[in-house]
């Protein structure tokens, strides 16, 4: 999935919260591919850092994936050139 095809219609957010456990994942609609996920303390940290908004998890998780996971600076190129990296799946 590319940033062009990843939309609110082609993805969904899966969540799970229980006492001291937390899980948030952005997945494809068919649930075959996990694009990005957060567990436990990372959920709270992403919210605290402003990457995830609890009242808008789907949109903010998708934006995070597009800007921080899918396109990452390549260590072999200058920072202004982007390298596409494979999604976790």
pLDDT band at 71 (very low <50, low <70, confident <90, very high): low
| Residue-wise pLDDT tens digits, 13-38 | 999 999 999 999 999 999 889 999 99
Do the beta carbons of residue 5 and residue 28 sit within 8 Å? no
Q: How many domains does the chain have?
A: 1
pLDDT band at 81 (very low <50, low <70, confident <90, very high): very low
User: Average pLDDT of 76-82?
Assistant: 41
Instruction: Establish if 2 belongs to a structural domain.
Output: no
Which range of residues forms the domain containing residue 73?
11-84
Instruction: Establish if 6 belongs to a structural domain.
Output: no
The model's pTM is 0.74
Q: Which conformational region is residue 43 in: left (phi greater than 0), alpha (psi within -120 to 50 degrees), or beta?
A: alpha
Instruction: Establish if 89 belongs to a structural domain.
Output: no
Instruction: Establish if 37 belongs to a structural domain.
Output: yes
Instruction: Establish if 58 belongs to a structural domain.
Output: yes
Residue 53 CB-half CA count within 13 A: 7
Instruction: Establish if 3 belongs to a structural domain.
Output: no
């Amino acid at each position: 999935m590319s940033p062009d095809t990843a939309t609110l219609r082609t993805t969904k957010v899966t969540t799970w919260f229980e006492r001291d456990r937390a899980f948030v994942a952005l997945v494809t609609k068919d649930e075959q591919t996990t694009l990005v996920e957060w567990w436990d303390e990372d959920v709270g940290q992403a919210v605290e850092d402003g990457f995830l908004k609890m009242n808008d998890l789907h949109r903010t998780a998708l934006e995070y994936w597009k800007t921080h996971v899918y396109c990452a600076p390549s260590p072999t190129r200058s920072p202004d050139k982007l390298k596409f990296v494979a999604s976790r799946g």
